[in-house]
Structure 1
Amino acid sequence: MTRIALDAMGGDRAPDTIVQGLAEAIKDKQFSAFLIGDEKRIGKSLERYGVGRSVELVHASEVIGPDESPSMAVRRRRGSSIGVGVRMQKEGKVDAFVSAGSTGAVMAFSLLTLGRLGGVNRPAIAAFFPTKVGFSLVLDVGANSDCKPLNLLQFAMMGSIYLSYSFQRESPRVALLSMGEEDSKGNDLTLATHELLRSANLINFVGNIEASRILDGVADV
């Protein structure tokens, strides 16, 4: 059975909202849940939403606030719910860690604790955008403020592989977000990335796409 660790202290109105979401999830899915955070506060939420013994509590004495520096949090908040959760995944105690807390802290702890896959220079945050025909996976949506063409090529490959294996989408269509659909449109980064994507044999590159076309579902990644 899949083992999932949840940051019970992350996000607005935690831990109530986290426990409430967990209560809904376990109605439809079979998985082992680990709630990480202040045991006393989590316990009250579990009683409030009627979550039974299928949940295991893991105490974490600290919480990373939304305004804290991720780099400082990694050094000073190792006992935080995010720090504990990422280490549990590193040690193989869980299969996945989920947090609605500080995105920067999750990325920082993950990068330093889990590391990067071989051949990946930078991590990326992916988000599902609803479309008229289902959804598209968009990345990167916040992990990097300044990228090089090679980074964007790697993002395209990671997104394509993820959809292929996790959602059984055969040969996902990959598009490059630009100010116009023509090959000649875009800044230097867009133009250089377009050339890399067009010459890549491992992805199904369908060209540039404008932001307004994402919701039409003309691309998968």
Structure 2
Amino acid sequence: MPQKVRIALDAMGGDAGASVVIPGAAISLSRHPDTEFLLFGDQASIDAQLSRHPAMKAVSRVFHTDVAVRMDDKPSQALRRGRKTSSMWLAIDAVKKGDADVAISAGNTGALMAMARFNLHMLPGIDRPAIAAVWPTARGDSVVLDLGATIGGDGHHLMRLAVMGSAMASVLFDRERPTVGLLNIGVEEVKGGEEIREAAELLRAMNLPQLEYVGFVEGDGIGKGVADVIVTEGFSGNIALKTAEGTARQISEFLRSAMGQTWRSRIGYLFARNAFRLLRDKLDPNKSNGGVLLGLRGIVVKSHGGTDSEGFAYAVDVGYEMVHYDLLTKINQMLNREGSALAPTAQEAVS
């Protein structure tokens, strides 16, 4: 592991750009002082923010570009317009060149995935990247993937997600053999689409040494923490993520409204405010911000585009931890260990 963790930031990504990215990185720097930053974007905007954060300025290098990927750009448009000149591309390219250990962006998800895949390429045996994130549960944390990198996939694709997710869980949670479940509409073996049942058969038949397959998991099982890793394809994974985030905000609003309705509830809040503060922290989606694009020959982290500086700081924390715990090497080791199982099928090789 390098002496310093070098983080490349797309300073123009997200809804607010540098006004969130720089303060967020400064918060993360206070938690991880062994960090250096490469900042890509409009120099005037970046410098204006760095002037307010001298500690951040001292460990940062700025690379000017006036090209930024728009949040509504299609991936193909972003590649044509922003390839080799946009702040997003340059941050990813810094990882490819070895100038940075991880790239982080709050920008357009589709563009980030397309650029990362085009520039860094995929690991052997992996055909598509997946977004994996740590999901707070009643029993601790779980890794959930794919949260929206790609849509659909057959049983072999889901099996590969299980292997990569278990690698991430083994590193983050110190599990020798993480438990893995497949998200489905029921726990019965006859339920779900053909691809989910195929993935279940593959995982049972292979009995991989680096993970323990525990079966199908319904939506409410994610929050219960019934498995260390929950696997699904990107369409349903993204819906699950956005639903959970919306529900968390809804519960927070309900509590805030209920606590102010009567004088008894206000008094009760005074006695229980520490407990409510802990609950609010648990329900805060910003504290689970930062999805890792797994399957690439480099580490890329996606932050929510609409997050605030505190939320972006958590995404930077995720990037730091991925490098600090040498996640990419661990994933490579697990993929190589089961290379035959991950090899593309004849049909996939033709396509």
TM range (shorter): over 0.9
Kindly state the Cα deviation for residue 98 of structure 1 after the two structures are TM-superposed. 0.5
Q: 1:31 aligns with which of 32, 35, 40?
A: 35
- The answer to which of 79-88 and 164-173 deviates more is 164-173
Q: 1:209 aligns with which of 213, 217, 236?
A: 217
C-alpha contact (below 8 Å) 2:189/2:216 kept by paired residues: yes
**CA RMSD of the aligned region, Å?**
1.3
One-letter amino acid matched to 1:152:
L
Kindly state the Cα deviation for residue 195 of structure 1 after the two structures are TM-superposed. 0.7
CA distance in 2 between partners of 1:40 and 1:138 (Å): 38
CA distance in 2 between partners of 1:133 and 1:20 (Å): 32
CA distance in 2 between partners of 1:125 and 1:208 (Å): 20
1:193 aligns to 2:196 (yes or no): no
1:120 aligns to 2:126 (yes or no): yes
For structure 2, list consecutive stretches of 5 or more residues without a partner in the other structure: 230-351
Structure with the higher helix share, 1 or 2? 2
C-alpha contact (below 8 Å) 2:142/2:169 kept by paired residues: no
Kindly state the Cα deviation for residue 188 of structure 1 after the two structures are TM-superposed. 1.6
- The answer to which of 166-175 and 1-10 deviates more is 166-175
Question: Which string of whole-angstrom CA distances, capped at 9 and with x for unpartnered residues, describes residues 59-86 of structure 1?
Answer: 2220000111111211221200111011
Match of 2:67 in 1: 62
CA distance in 1 between partners of 2:134 and 2:205 (Å): 26
CA distance in 1 between partners of 2:98 and 2:206 (Å): 34
CA distance in 2 between partners of 1:61 and 1:200 (Å): 50
SS of 2:166's equivalent in the other structure is helix
1:8 aligns to 2:14 (yes or no): no
One-letter amino acid matched to 1:172:
P
* Identical aligned residues as a percent: 40
C-alpha contact (below 8 Å) 2:41/2:65 kept by paired residues: yes
For structure 1, list consecutive stretches of 5 or more residues without a partner in the other structure: none
Match of 2:163 in 1: 157
One-letter amino acid matched to 2:113:
M
1:175 aligns to 2:181 (yes or no): yes
Match of 1:94 in 2: 100
Kindly state the Cα deviation for residue 27 of structure 1 after the two structures are TM-superposed. 0.6
Match of 2:90 in 1: 84
CA distance in 2 between partners of 1:134 and 1:11 (Å): 29
Question: Which string of whole-angstrom CA distances, capped at 9 and with x for unpartnered residues, describes residues 14-40 of structure 1?
Answer: 111111111111111021111111111
- The answer to which of 27-36 and 194-203 deviates more is 194-203
Aligned length: 221
Kindly state the Cα deviation for residue 216 of structure 1 after the two structures are TM-superposed. 0.9
Q: Which has the higher contact order (CA 8 A, sep 6+)?
A: 2
CA distance in 2 between partners of 1:24 and 1:91 (Å): 27
SS of 2:188's equivalent in the other structure is coil
Question: Which string of whole-angstrom CA distances, capped at 9 and with x for unpartnered residues, describes residues 154-208 of structure 1?
Answer: 0000010122134422211100001111222212222112111212232210111
C-alpha contact (below 8 Å) 2:8/2:102 kept by paired residues: yes
The TM-score, its normalising length taken from structure 2, stands at 0.61
One-letter amino acid matched to 1:75:
R
Match of 2:228 in 1: 220
Q: 2:77 aligns with which of 72, 75, 78?
A: 72
C-alpha contact (below 8 Å) 2:187/2:215 kept by paired residues: yes
CA distance in 2 between partners of 1:59 and 1:194 (Å): 49
Match of 1:19 in 2: 22
